[in-house]
Amino acid sequence: MRFAGALVLALFCMISEDAAAQPPAGSQEAASATTSIDPVAGALLDEINSLNAYQSPNLPLKTDQEYAHTVNELEPFHHVEPFKTYFRTQLEYTGPGRSLPEPTGLKSVKIGFLGPLYPTVSAATGGKSHEEVLGKKMYQGCQLAIEEANARGGYHKRKLPFELVVSNDNGLWGSSANEIIKQTYKDGVWAILGTIDGANSHIAIRVALKCEILIMNSGDTDPTFIETNIPWVARCIGDDRQMNYILVDYLYRKAGCKRAGIIRASNRYGRFGVREISDASRRLEHPIIVEMAYKVGRDDYSLELERLKAADLDVVIHWGDDVDGAKILNQMRAMGMNQPLVACDRCVSDEFVRIAGKNAEGVICAFPWNPDRQDPLHLDFRKRFRARFHEEPETYASHAYDGMNMLIWGIQNAGLNRAKIRDLIAYRMEPWQGVTGEIRFSPVLDDVGEVYLARRENGKWKYYTREEMGVPRTAARSAQH
């Protein structure tokens, strides 16, 4: 089953290539665009198909001078030249999977889905799981992508339909590992899209490394997710590292804050989500004054807020779910705490606004994309999503749609060989034009495209680039090449 992982990764590469010139999914142009090999993918496949089982592609590797837009002044010990740096040169897969033939006797082309869909006890949260709302949105995005691909004829080489194999992800760490093994060896999926929980994602990709199957992640923004040097993983959403950097620059270089405090969820999402805020604040000589953690799902945050109030802060930073964030904001205001609230992307939600009410006005959050973008690809997607699900697509549905389409597009071009799909994704240099915007992969296949600031203004969320918000950007040493 080695070729499963490679297939998916190559698949993402191909999907990205085609997206720049590809018409909106569901159109007649899109249907005809999937009936032949994309020219860029074809050039890569010429090299890949010329190899024997003991050779690796002789193709250019991506390299970055800065990892994930980390400028020199935010690097640890930046005054010292390190002996070795990591994550700046593209990983290679050197195994024999490219020589495996396409299997016969298939009735469908299966792609896996791993995400939180129904509640269970979660070791990662220390209690009942809480991400099902996000997982269901992610599932909707995948559903739509699969249905549209089948409407265009499915896997065109064999005239087979695509099939989504669904697994719930909210259990113990070992459960996510078991689901990867089941989907790879029993279900026979060619790639997997998932998941959201950071702890479970880390376990899943380590199993994917052994199974050699690609995991496309569209919902876990943990910066360390991609720092595992596993060539079978890609992520099509901006991570917390990059969103931390734009918040830090806004707070200290734009808003003039000097004393910041953090209140966060006491789970992996909260702990790793603020890590670069803490580090960057210290390196910019404004160390975080106090950091308080709370158990997810509480109603009373008075203990944490009393300590934040006593610290005489300029700003309060929240990292956690939208419901907790809204309750914290309401309690802050009831306690006479009038500091601005800056929060993570999960707080850009209808539920946050419903609970916070008028207190939501003026809240600023980091966000991985601009849902108000007016390009035809995004507008057409919103129209089709509303027709299918009778609601607007949010960030988890939209990024899952992009990720699943990358996988589908890659399969169409590489065929049913996991290693070749991995190759097409990994060696692609051009960004993928998705419904969430331009997705540009770093050497470790992490999306390093533009991230945004979302501000609640006059009852609506408004999305701003650095330049539009007037947030200074420290010049990078060099661009990706």
pLDDT at site 204:
92
Contacts of 272 (CB under 8 A, 6+ apart): 198, 222, 223, 224, 240
Asked whether residue 135 falls in the same domain as residue 68, the answer is: yes
Instruction: Give the pLDDT band (50/70/90) at residue 127.
Output: low
Q: How far apart are CA 114 and CA 167, in angstroms?
A: 5
Asked whether residue 435 falls in the same domain as residue 303, the answer is: no
- Whether 60 and 40 have beta carbons less than 8 Å apart is answered as no
Query: Is residue 475 predicted with pLDDT exceeding 90?
Result: no
Helix, strand, coil % over all residues of the chain, rounded to 5: 45, 15, 40
Percent of the chain residues topping a pLDDT of 70 = 88
Is there a domain that residue 247 lies in? yes
Is there a domain that residue 20 lies in? yes
pLDDT at site 474:
61
Is there a domain that residue 444 lies in? no
Query: Is residue 25 predicted with pLDDT exceeding 80?
Result: no
Query: Is residue 152 predicted with pLDDT exceeding 60?
Result: yes
Asked whether residue 180 falls in the same domain as residue 229, the answer is: yes
Question: How far from 6 is each of 134, 188, 217, 287, 421, CA to CA, in Å?
Answer: 27, 13, 15, 43, 5
Is there a domain that residue 445 lies in? no
Is there a domain that residue 481 lies in? no
Please tell me which residue, 400 or 64, carries the higher pLDDT value. 400
Q: What is the domain count for the chain? A: 2
Query: Is residue 281 predicted with pLDDT exceeding 60?
Result: yes
Task: Tell me the one-letter amino acid at 192.
Answer: I
Asked whether residue 152 falls in the same domain as residue 23, the answer is: yes
Asked whether residue 270 falls in the same domain as residue 168, the answer is: no
Token pair, residue 168, equals 């719930």
Rounded to 10 degrees, the C-alpha dihedral 282/286/290/291 comes to -50
| Other residues' Cβ atoms within 10 Å of the Cβ of residue 173 | 16
Q: How far apart are CA 140 and CA 301, in angstroms?
A: 34
- Rounded average pLDDT over 247-267: 96
Please provide the DSSP assignment of 401-420 as one string. HHHHHHHHHHHHHH-S-HHH
Is there a domain that residue 477 lies in? no
pLDDT at site 82:
83
- Rounded average pLDDT over 129-155: 94
Asked whether residue 225 falls in the same domain as residue 316, the answer is: no
Asked whether residue 394 falls in the same domain as residue 316, the answer is: no
Determine how β-strand 460-464 pairs with β-strand 364-367: unpaired
Q: Is the dihedral of CA 321, 346, 171, 146 positive or negative?
A: positive
Q: How far apart are CA 428 and CA 251, in angstroms?
A: 36
Identify the burial level of 479 via C-beta atoms within 10 angstroms of its C-beta, where 0-12 means exposed, 13-18 middle and 19 or more buried.
exposed
Query: Is residue 10 predicted with pLDDT exceeding 70?
Result: no
Asked whether residue 26 falls in the same domain as residue 107, the answer is: yes
- As beta bridge partners, residue 445 has none
Query: Is residue 481 predicted with pLDDT exceeding 50?
Result: no
Q: How far apart are CA 448 and CA 88, in angstroms?
A: 13
Token pair, residue 250, equals 């806004």
Asked whether residue 9 falls in the same domain as residue 148, the answer is: yes
Task: Print burial letters for 280-309: b (CB count within 10 Å at least 16), e (below 16).
Answer: bbebeebebbbbbbbebeeeebeebbeebb
> CATH number of the domain that 267 lies in?
3.40.50.2300
Please tell me which residue, 126 or 153, carries the higher pLDDT value. 153
The domain in which residue 352 lies consists of 241-367+452-469
- Whether 337 and 309 have beta carbons less than 8 Å apart is answered as yes
Is there a domain that residue 328 lies in? yes
Q: What is the DSSP code (8-state) at residue 223? A: G
Nearest alpha-carbon partner for 264 in 296, 288, 307, 240: 296
| Other residues' Cβ atoms within 10 Å of the Cβ of residue 49 | 14
Asked whether residue 58 falls in the same domain as residue 181, the answer is: yes
pLDDT at site 122:
58
Q: How far apart are CA 308 and CA 317, in angstroms?
A: 10
Is there a domain that residue 66 lies in? yes
Query: Is residue 30 predicted with pLDDT exceeding 70?
Result: no
Query: Is residue 305 predicted with pLDDT exceeding 50?
Result: yes
Query: Is residue 231 predicted with pLDDT exceeding 90?
Result: yes
Instruction: Give the pLDDT band (50/70/90) at residue 171.
Output: low
Strands (E), 219-278: 233-235, 260-265
- Whether 316 and 261 have beta carbons less than 8 Å apart is answered as yes
Model's pTM, two decimal places?
Answer: 0.89
Query: Is residue 448 predicted with pLDDT exceeding 50?
Result: yes
- Rounded average pLDDT over 22-40: 50
pLDDT at site 472:
87
**Mean pLDDT across the chain:** 88
Nearest alpha-carbon partner for 266 in 297, 295, 223, 288: 295
Query: Is residue 442 predicted with pLDDT exceeding 80?
Result: yes
Rg over CA atoms, the chain:
22
Query: Is residue 13 predicted with pLDDT exceeding 80?
Result: no
127: Cα within 13 Å, side-chain hemisphere: 8
Asked whether residue 153 falls in the same domain as residue 265, the answer is: no
CA 185 to chain centre: 26
Contacts of 119 (CB under 8 A, 6+ apart): 128, 129, 132, 170
Query: H helices of 72-197, where?
Result: 132-151, 173-181
Query: H helices of 165-258, where?
Result: 173-181, 198-211, 240-249
Query: Is residue 176 predicted with pLDDT exceeding 90?
Result: no
Asked whether residue 164 falls in the same domain as residue 263, the answer is: no
pLDDT at site 425:
86
